[in-house]
Amino acid sequence: MNRTFKYLILPAFLCIGMFLIISCSTSRTPKTMRLFLQAKRPNILLPYGENTGSGILSQQVEFSTALDTVVAVSAETTDSSDIWRTVHLDRVDVVAARTVVKQVTMRRGFVRLEFDVQVPGVLMDSCWRLVLTPVLSGLDSTDTSLRPVVLSGSDFQRMQEAHYKSYDQFLKGIIDPSAYDSIYLDRKSIARDIFRRQKFFYDLYDKERDRQLAYEKWKRLALDRQNFWNMRVQANRTDLHHRLERKKIKESVRSYVAGRDTFGLSSSYSHKYRRIANFWPMYRMERKMSLSSVPSKYQDLYSGGRSLSDIRNYVLSSSDSTEISRHRYFFDRIAENEMNNRNRDQIRERMIPFPYIDSAMVRQTAVPGEDYIYNYVYSLPVKEGMKKLRLHLESIVEATDRSTWRPAPSDTLLFVVASLSDLVDYSLLQKFAISSSLESDSDSTLAISYTPEGESYAEGLRLLQEREYHKALPLLQAHPDYNTALCLISLGYHSEAADLLAQLPRTANREYLYAVVCARMENATEAVEHMLEACRLNPDLVLRIALDPELSDLIPQFVGLRQELDKIGFGE
């Protein structure tokens, strides 16, 4: 096992050791085994008292305010033009009724989903965590996972803490490059390299110094021998000179006594001196040091005239120290450090198999054997075309021994987003109708077709019903009527809608729309007048008021308005 691998897995072994210490048991049987032997599951349901009902969320048009309402309804079905409709909610069909309406206020272009997340106590254990993720569909082509509810057992939490502690120690062991000089510098090797460099420089000097000393010793001895020889030659010449001079004097005295002529005697002796001195080596072989007489190993010193003080020595400079230091780090440890830093995310995944879920809606400690209910509230903006929202719960149990368990699918809650588009008047389509009779055996049926303008108008109604208001408006504006005003209100064009409504015949729906427009234009008194008139013309609209926050908010503002609406609704 190489050093790098050991360095990387050391924290992991530490983590595993702690894991084994805090684990619930040492059995090799998966801790989630007992969950496979029971049939309980986490589930979602409407808040207490509404569990048999469906969710109908009120959408406020112009996407500025909204109210969501959860109401219980009967199992009767109505036609598509009725504002009350059957909602299918996993084996239960219910229809709304005003007396059990539960209003949950949410405005400014948002609808509010409220439901309970329920977990049986048998699914709770100290050795695992349960992650409950509500999943919402119906917003677009993909599902949207809401923030999860996380229930962790005490032993599971301690295991997580140990994992994070081990990983934190691992991170602390990662050295910043700026600290490499203080931690990863191989100072012992640098000192050795510097000593070797200095020793090398000294050896060069010492070698040259020894050579210089040897040369000077040789030179001194050579000069001594040369001087001694030259001294002997000079002494011989002097001795010859004086010996000949003595003979010359002696011969001169004898010649003088004998009366002989002494002329030329000095010249004769001088000639004799030169002849003898220039012939015999002992008188003429003076020695002189030259390059040829110097040994070859010293000739450069002789030619250069170098002395001891001229010997060049080398010293270790700061740049030399820097150069040596640059290549003297613990590069294997640096490589380990940089690899750990580069792969810290992958190492984190291995060391922390169960990270904290930061996006959790709530994170609580699970109490084994105790049932758990969490009231989940989620708000989302209203978009064109939003009609139905489905909600289900995805769950997973993750145990300390890495075993998992996924429960059976939860129930699905269906929320129907209510809006003013539910008030579409399809009867206005009849003005474009073309009737024709068709025979079929003995039965005759009446099929209705429409003019091209009617087809366009019908498409506009379909788009309006689907809440694609921007697409519907151009088709409906070609024939301004009640439905056109409804589309204008849905888009927030209140002044234009009010002008158009003022030109239309007085009907219950027209008065109801007028009340909504006045409320949005902050004309509360006129809004109440149109609301009461609409309810008098059609008492069923009293139940509709709860779904439109513009009108329901007016009720507490006017004394006796609630009682008046109750009288109208109950036919008193």
27-68 pLDDT tens trace: 678 999 999 998 899 998 888 756 544 455 554 433 332 333
Residue 529's H or E segment, with its range, is: helix 524-537
Q: Which has the higher per-residue pLDDT, 321 or 264?
A: 321
Q: Residue 314: pLDDT above 70?
A: yes
Q: Which has the higher per-residue pLDDT, 67 or 234?
A: 234
Q: Indicate the burial class of 149 (C-beta count within 10 angstroms; 0-12, 13-18, 19 or more).
A: buried
Q: What is the Cα–Cα distance from 526 to 544, expressed in whole angstroms?
A: 18
**Topology of 421-569 in CATH?**
1.25.40
Q: What is the tens place of the pLDDT at every residue in 470-496?
A: 999 999 999 999 999 999 998 889 999
Q: Do the Cβ atoms of 376 and 117 come closer than 8 Å?
A: yes
Q: What is the Cα–Cα distance from 518 to 529, expressed in whole angstroms?
A: 10
Mean pLDDT, residues 518-534 taken together: 93
Mean pLDDT, residues 223-238 taken together: 89
What pLDDT, on a 0 to 100 scale, did the predictor assign at position 171? 94
Q: Residue 120: pLDDT above 60?
A: yes
Q: Measure the CA dihedral 539/543/545/549, to 10°.
A: 180
When computed from its CA atoms, the radius of gyration of the chain, rounded to whole angstroms, is: 57
What pLDDT, on a 0 to 100 scale, did the predictor assign at position 84? 34
- The residues facing 55 across adjacent strands are 70, 415
Angle value at C-alpha 569, between 564 and 570, nearest 5 degrees:
100
SS3 category, 393: strand
Pairing of strands 433-440, 413-418: unpaired
Q: What is the tens place of the pLDDT at every residue in 372-427?
A: 999 999 888 877 767 778 889 999 999 999 999 999 888 888 877 777 778 899 99
Tokens in use for 161?
């803490």
What pLDDT, on a 0 to 100 scale, did the predictor assign at position 68? 37
- The alpha carbon of residue 469 and the mean position of all alpha carbons in its chain are separated, in whole angstroms, by 40
What pLDDT, on a 0 to 100 scale, did the predictor assign at position 138? 74
Q: Where are the beta strands (DSSP E) in 330-442?
A: 362-365, 372-381, 388-399, 404-405, 413-418, 433-440
* pLDDT band at 109; cut points 50, 70, 90: low
Q: What is the Cα–Cα distance from 129 to 397, expressed in whole angstroms?
A: 6
* pLDDT band at 96; cut points 50, 70, 90: very low
Instruction: Give phi and psi for 408, each to the nearest 5.
Output: -65, 155
Q: Residue 511: pLDDT above 90?
A: yes
Please count the CA atoms within 13 angstroms of the CA of 76 that sit on its side-chain side.
7
Please state, as a whole number, how many other Cβ atoms lie within 10 Å of the Cβ of residue 303.
10
Tokens in use for 179?
């600290």
Please state, as a whole number, how many other Cβ atoms lie within 10 Å of the Cβ of residue 302.
17
Q: Residue 69: pLDDT above 50?
A: no
What pLDDT, on a 0 to 100 scale, did the predictor assign at position 367? 93
Q: What is the Cα–Cα distance from 523 to 529, expressed in whole angstroms?
A: 10
- The residues facing 374 across adjacent strands are 117
Q: What is the tens place of the pLDDT at every residue in 348-378?
A: 999 999 999 999 999 999 999 999 999 999 8
- The residues facing 114 across adjacent strands are 377
Helices 154-172/344-351 angle, 10° precision: 150
Identify which of 209, 218, 365, 190 has the alpha carbon closest to the alpha carbon of residue 289.
Answer: 218
What pLDDT, on a 0 to 100 scale, did the predictor assign at position 149? 96
Residue 249's H or E segment, with its range, is: helix 187-258
* pLDDT band at 8; cut points 50, 70, 90: very low
Cβ-based neighbours of 406, under 8 Å, separated by 6 or more: 395, 396, 397
Mean pLDDT, residues 253-259 taken together: 84
What pLDDT, on a 0 to 100 scale, did the predictor assign at position 449? 86
* pLDDT band at 437; cut points 50, 70, 90: low
Identify which of 28, 106, 16, 91 has the alpha carbon closest to the alpha carbon of residue 60.
Answer: 106
Please state, as a whole number, how many other Cβ atoms lie within 10 Å of the Cβ of residue 15.
24
Q: What is the tens place of the pLDDT at every residue in 261-290?
A: 778 888 888 888 888 888 888 887 778 888
Q: What is the Cα–Cα distance from 120 to 366, expressed in whole angstroms?
A: 11
Mean pLDDT, residues 318-324 taken together: 91
Q: Do the Cβ atoms of 187 and 162 come closer than 8 Å?
A: no
Q: Which has the higher per-residue pLDDT, 138 or 102?
A: 138
What pLDDT, on a 0 to 100 scale, did the predictor assign at position 160? 95
Least confident among 55-59, 165-169, 529-533: 55-59
- The alpha carbon of residue 189 and the mean position of all alpha carbons in its chain are separated, in whole angstroms, by 40
Q: What is the Cα–Cα distance from 497 to 488, expressed in whole angstroms?
A: 6
* pLDDT band at 466; cut points 50, 70, 90: confident
Q: Name the DSSP class of 36.
A: G
Q: Residue 552: pLDDT above 70?
A: yes
Q: Do the Cβ atoms of 107 and 66 come closer than 8 Å?
A: yes
Q: Residue 338: pLDDT above 60?
A: yes
What stretches of 327-403 show up as alpha helix (H) in DSSP? 331-342, 344-351
Domain boundary assignment for the chain: 1-30+154-182+333-356, 33-153+366-418, 187-326, 421-569
Angle value at C-alpha 343, between 340 and 345, nearest 5 degrees:
120
Mean pLDDT, residues 157-170 taken together: 95
Angle value at C-alpha 535, between 532 and 539, nearest 5 degrees:
150
Q: What is the Cα–Cα distance from 523 to 521, expressed in whole angstroms?
A: 6
What pLDDT, on a 0 to 100 scale, did the predictor assign at position 79? 39
Tokens in use for 316?
């270790």
Mean pLDDT, residues 202-209 taken together: 94
For the chain, what percent of residues have pLDDT higher than 90?
50
Q: What is the CATH number of domain 33-153+366-418?
A: 2.60.40.10
What pLDDT, on a 0 to 100 scale, did the predictor assign at position 89? 37
Q: Using the Cα atoms of residue 185, residue 188, residue 191 and residue 196 in order, give the sign of their dihedral.
A: negative
DSSP annotation string for 188-199: HHHHHHHHHHHH
What pLDDT, on a 0 to 100 scale, did the predictor assign at position 22? 44
Mean pLDDT, rounded, of the chain: 81
Taking 3-state DSSP, the helix, strand and coil percentages for the chain, each rounded to the nearest 5, stand at: 50, 15, 30
If phi > 0 it is left, if psi is from -120 to 50 it is alpha, else beta; for residue 106 that is: beta
For the chain, what percent of residues have pLDDT higher than 70?
81
Q: Which has the higher per-residue pLDDT, 244 or 571?
A: 244
Q: Which has the higher per-residue pLDDT, 222 or 17?
A: 222
What pLDDT, on a 0 to 100 scale, did the predictor assign at position 123? 95
pTM score above 0.85: no
What pLDDT, on a 0 to 100 scale, did the predictor assign at position 201? 94
Q: What is the Cα–Cα distance from 526 to 498, expressed in whole angstroms?
A: 12
Specify the residue for token string 């805090």.
Answer: 22
Q: What is the Cα–Cα distance from 185 to 523, expressed in whole angstroms?
A: 80
